[in-house]
Amino acid sequence: MGLEEVKRILDSNYADSPTIQELVCPAMMNEYKLKRAFKQLYGYSIHAYIIHKRMEKAREILESGQFSVTEAVYQAGDANCSYFISRFRQTYGFNPIKLKK
């Protein structure tokens, strides 16, 4: 258990990510310590890590060529397509439509 367990939970549930309160028990630490320790170990806040995982998953889905941008956004766990596209462009430097084959 601990931070590795929290990361495993987030990696497998990025689309429907748990709340910080739901991660406190597997982390075996209070909310403040969890947030601080996670960022120190992984270089991202928990929220930023979830966004990062969603970006990675959406890119992976789009590179497969099987889904539209909208479908990739929803599969990656985001509900706001236009905001997601904006974050994607900030993260990767190009629009996600460029990955469609």
- What is the band of 93 on the pLDDT scale with cuts at 50, 70, 90? very high
Checking 49-54 for CB contacts under 8 A at 24+ apart, the result is 49/7, 49/10, 50/10, 50/14, 50/17, 51/87, 52/91, 53/10, 53/11, 53/14, 54/14, 54/15, 54/78, 54/84
Work out the average pLDDT over 23-28: 93
Q: Is the separation of the CB atoms in 62 and 99 below 8 Å?
A: yes
User: What confidence score (pLDDT) does residue 43 get?
Assistant: 96
- Within 10 angstroms of residue 30's Cβ, the number of other Cβ atoms is 10
User: What per-residue confidence (pLDDT) applies to 26?
Assistant: 92
Distance CA 87, CA 64 (A): 20
Taking the model in full, what pTM does it have?
0.87
Instruction: Tell me phi and psi for residue 80, to 5 degrees.
Output: -105, 100
pLDDT at 65: 87
What is the C-alpha to C-alpha distance for residues 60 and 72, in angstroms, rounded to an integer?
9
Query: Which CATH architecture best describes the domain 49-99?
Result: Orthogonal Bundle (1.10)
Per the CB < 8 A criterion, the answer to whether 91 and 55 are in contact is: yes
